[in-house]
Amino acid sequence: MAICVSGSHTLFVNRSNLKTVAVLSREKKMRVQYDLKQGQSRNFHELPSGLSMEVIVQKGAKKNTNFEYPPLVFVHGSYHAAWCWAEHWLPFFSSSGHDCYAISLLGQTHARDVADFICRNIGSPPVLVGHSFGGLIIQYYISNLGSDELKEDLYPKLKGAVLVCSVPPSGNSGIVWRYIFSKPIVAFKVTRSLAAKAFQTSLSLCRETFFSATMEDHVVRRYQELMKESSRMPLFDLRKLNASLPVPSVPNCPFEILVLGAKDDFIVDAEGLKETAKFYGVPPVCVDAIAHDMMLDVSWEKGAEVIFSWLNGSEK
């Protein structure tokens, strides 16, 4: 199962005209444009490389309370981009008072790019929310916070982290082998859907991979088209990724981590969820009747409400 995180930007560009080419490439590639919802804006954060990283922003509603709502920074997974958070979770959490930022990954230094965005745009320690391979990126961010070799200002402090249907710290190889021996048909389907990108052409396979069986065809088709546009360039060098696994541990992590899974997840199994939770010394939370794309699924509010309750509890 060779899963690559992908985004909507061209990676290899002429360095003499880096910024211009990156912007032109983005406009050319996004043939299916995500229409922002009320209160959302689309910005472009210029990275040290000169490339521009898309950010969808939705500011938090003002509340008459002394409670401090931490900003939330959302990191997508394979074949997705910032739009996947903008559909439901950005409106939900911004209405609750949180400033929300969803980024579209590009390049090969994801954790560092997330850190650069936070360093230059977020005034107080945020909560990072990562889905699938985005969760693995957040795990690398956390490990860098505990590295004595890095300057403190390279990786700003966090208020907390939420790992949603995340790839475990050892990577996806354990999941692959479990599926091969216990669920060979599922293993074949997952490989065909993700490695061969068959989810792009098969509506039924796209639904089975990412969503609940009750999601209507027209909704699946809309997300399928957006995922096609978000997966034209691999964002992980899988050889380098595998060489860097497992994620280094961080003893005595100074903030709370929520490990959240989906009962009907077609990609990350229960053992993968338990592995991640055990790695961080927290109990896993598994949401019933929801699929891998928890933030887009028909019951998207279930996961959002778990995170909202956790945010309120972790602030006390």
* Amino acid symbol at 165: C
Q: Which two tokens stand for residue 262?
A: 């989906």
Q: Is the pTM of this model over 0.75?
A: yes
Q: What is the pLDDT of residue 245?
A: 87
Residues pairing with 58 in the sheet = 40, 100
pLDDT tens-digit series, residues 14-55: 333 333 334 434 444 455 689 999 999 999 999 998 999 999
pLDDT tens-digit series, residues 137-173: 999 999 988 665 555 568 999 999 999 999 999 998 8
Q: What is the pLDDT of residue 36?
A: 97
Report the 10 Å Cβ neighbour count for 152: 8
Shortest CA distance to 258 belongs to which of 271, 273, 239, 270? 273
Residue range 188-195: mean pLDDT, rounded: 93
pLDDT category at 1 given cuts 50, 70, 90 is very low
Which residues lie below 8 Å from residue 254, measured CB to CB, with a gap of 6+?
Answer: 157
Q: What is the pLDDT of residue 315?
A: 53
pLDDT category at 240 given cuts 50, 70, 90 is confident
Q: What is the pLDDT of residue 109?
A: 78
What is the DSSP secondary-structure string of 245-312?
Answer: PSPPP-TT-SSEEEEEEETT-SSS-HHHHHHHHHHHT---EEESS--S-TTTSTTHHHHHHHHHHHHH
Least confident of 191-195, 199-203, 237-241: 237-241
What is the DSSP secondary-structure string of 189-251?
Answer: HHIIIIIS-GGGT-HHHHHHHHS-TTS-HHHHHHHHHHHHHT-SEE---HHHHHHHPSPPP-T
Residue with the bigger pLDDT between 68 and 121: it is 121
Q: What is the pLDDT of residue 242?
A: 74
- In whole angstroms, give the CA distance from residue 230 to residue 226: 6
Give the side-chain half-sphere CA count within 13 A for 137.
31
Are the C-beta atoms of 165 and 132 separated by less than 8 Å? yes
Report the 10 Å Cβ neighbour count for 225: 13
Q: What is the pLDDT of residue 285?
A: 98
Q: Which domains are seen in the chain, by residue range? A: 40-171+235-312 (3.40.50.1820)
Q: What is the pLDDT of residue 122?
A: 95
DSSP SS3 for 21: helix
Q: What is the pLDDT of residue 291?
A: 98
pLDDT tens-digit series, residues 266-289: 999 999 999 999 999 999 999 999
Percentage with pLDDT > 90 across the chain: 70
